[in-house]
Amino acid sequence: MTKDPITAERHSFAALLTVCCLVTFGCYFAISMRLPVVPLYAAGFGVSTSEIGMINAAFYLMAGMLALPSGIMSDSLGRRRLAVYGTIVLFTGMLLLYFSRSFLYLAGIYLLLGIGIAAFGPTMMSWVSEISPSTHMGRAYGWYTTALFCGLGMGPAAGGALGEWLGFRPVFLIGAALVAITIWAVQWFLPALEAPADLKIEKPRQQLNWRLMLTNRQLMGCWLVTFGANIIGGAFFTFLPLLAYERGLDVGQIGIVYLVQSITNALARIPFGTISDRIGRRKYQALLGVVLASLSIAGFAPAVTFVHFLLAAFCLGVSLAIAFTSIGALIAETTEPRFRGLAMGGYNSFIYFGLMAGSIGLGPLIEAIGFGAGFLFAGASNLFFVSFFAWSMLGYSQDNRNTSES
């Protein structure tokens, strides 16, 4: 008895997506173990708040600069090869953190980590769009980003607990060992899918293709609102440990705050990804999410107890889940399939540039006006990009898009 072709295709899609999610979880879990540890570790040998912001900005700068060309390379070179190169670089960076004892050393290592994540992240996102049926795009990104943010949430919790138990530096060695396992998993379990010839970027038309991409109003809106929302992320990931420590939380509790934000962010993406597919009004879901994210980051300003921090982290996680399950699918919908690597590379670039802006821009501001006002400013700054996104989506309809494609 032969299998129904549609059933076989769904089973294949589910298996491939599962592999992608497991590999992504492992990688982000390992590298995010450093998040609650590095700011406190650096402060221990005299690195200032502004310099800690610059260290994180070095990671985001390099990741942002290289994510878009990495996406293009994955279209032509193949996804697995680039993912393997990225995990090797990440392993090297995590190992070198163990030997760091100065601001410049840490900044250099974070540049290296940025190169690694730029090779890995856009490649995996492009791979998901390549294997996913258009009817399941929202759900696919829901599951993928759930895996990603589970890694980002559980990694800091594990790093904080291990830092409290073993000290800061052993956390870096453990993270490096886990990245080494990810290298093996990518090499042996990620299929070597190559983009079909008609989906690859044709070099003679590349200048015209760039022009078409830059005049795609919906894509530009998605990219820029991604930038604005990740200014909020930059404030959270860079300065939360210092804010929370100042208000009496220990490193283990700080790791749990990261965990709550990331786990709620991750788990909420599954239902909201399904809602995005079934209702078909992604632009409104994305708009609601980014507005709520601005309000949520402002919730950290008055937080003075562990419970207050947990509530603010929960709200931030849910709001980002509402927004980004739709934004990722909108980018895939509004871009020609052969340019999705480029589009997802640009998406990742704006993620990292936003995180960099939140890290390097808010450091001096926080030193001048304090943590509370700095977190309020991060939320307010996102509203400009929210307005641009709302304008860019005027007249866009997912129903019209699906009709034109069919």
pLDDT digits (tens, 9 = 90+) for 326-342: 887 888 788 776 676 67
- At 115 the pLDDT is 92
* pLDDT 10s digits, 180-219: 998 888 877 766 554 443 344 444 444 445 666 667 888 8
- At 172 the pLDDT is 93
- CA atoms of 183 and 286, how far apart (whole Å): 34
Q: Which of 41, 64, 46 is nearest to 359 (CA)?
A: 64
- State both tokens at 112: 């290296």
Question: Who's near 156: CB < 8 A, 6+ residues apart?
Answer: 32, 33, 35, 36, 254, 255, 258, 259, 262
Q: Domain map of the chain by residue range?
A: 17-188+211-395
Asked whether the predicted pLDDT for residue 8 surpasses 70, the reply is no
Lowest mean pLDDT among 207-211, 264-268, 346-350: 207-211
The chain-wide mean pLDDT, for the chain, equals 81
* pLDDT 10s digits, 59-73: 888 888 887 787 667
- CA atoms of 379 and 347, how far apart (whole Å): 20
pTM: 0.71
Residue pair 105/315 in contact (Cβ under 8 Å)? The answer is no
- State both tokens at 297: 């980051």
Rg (CA), the chain: 20
Q: Identify the CATH class of 17-188+211-395.
A: mainly alpha
What does the pLDDT average to over 270-277? 80
What does the pLDDT average to over 93-120? 91
